[in-house]
Amino acid sequence: MRRVLFVCTGNLCRSPMAEYILQRELSDRGADDVLVESAGTFAMEGNPAARKAVKEMEKQGIDMSGHRARALTRRMLEEADVVVVMEKQHELTALALMPDAGEKIVLMGKLVDGRDNHEIPDPYGSDEEFFSQTCDLIKKAAAALADRLVSE
């Protein structure tokens, strides 16, 4: 079984949204051989997802209310086949935990065609419109990643 790990800061918005969206994208493609997880570089273990992130996911037909934050560990990085980070800083933190993880790390924004900025902005503390815009970017990147995973 292949493993994909999404990483953001608090594991409250971006990475769990990406986790749940990719799970649906893979399910829609009939791919059941990929385990999708998420974690945060500065996560407080057990915290629920941000309320606005849960609400945005409800608009997408996805129930993320049961999500609980997890802190990124070296073991998670070791077990992952692909590590998708939201910001360059997340990549640096992952590399500090596991210096030889570089070949499996990708900035999520690089998966979205035509984007110059490869970082996915943090919507935490922002309004619902910003959460929606962030979710749209994540959906595009997750669809591209799902296509790639299915074709491999």
Segments making up each domain of the chain, as ranges: 2-147
Catalytic residue, candidates 14, 24, 70, 135: 14
Catalytic residue, candidates 3, 68, 115, 122: 122
Please tell me whether the overall predicted TM-score, pTM, comes out greater than 0.85 for this model: yes
Spell out the residues 6+ positions from residue 104 whose beta carbon is closer than 8 angstroms to its own. Answer: 80, 81, 82, 83
Q: What's the mean per-residue pLDDT of the chain?
A: 96
Report yes or no: 102 and 122 within 8 Å, Cβ to Cβ.
no
Which pLDDT value is given to residue 152? Answer: 84
Q: pLDDT tens across 11-30, in order?
A: 999 999 999 999 999 999 99
Q: Which two tokens stand for residue 7?
A: 């990483």
Please confirm, yes or no, whether 13 is among the known catalytic residues: no
**First-to-last CA distance in the chain?**
13
Considering the domain delimited by 2-147, tell me its CATH architecture. 3-Layer(aba) Sandwich (3.40)
HSE-up of 125 (CA within 13 Å, CB side)? 3
Please confirm, yes or no, whether 14 is among the known catalytic residues: yes
Nearest to 137 by CA among 151, 149, 116: 116
Q: How far apart are CA 151 and CA 137, in angstroms?
A: 22
Catalytic residue, candidates 2, 3, 8, 148: 8
Q: How far apart are CA 147 and CA 152, in angstroms?
A: 9
pLDDT band for 131, please (50, 70, 90 cuts).
very high
pLDDT at residue 10 greater than cutoff 70: yes
Please confirm, yes or no, whether 122 is among the known catalytic residues: yes
Q: pLDDT tens across 50-88, in order?
A: 999 999 999 999 999 999 999 999 999 999 999 999 999
Q: Which two tokens stand for residue 151?
A: 């074709």
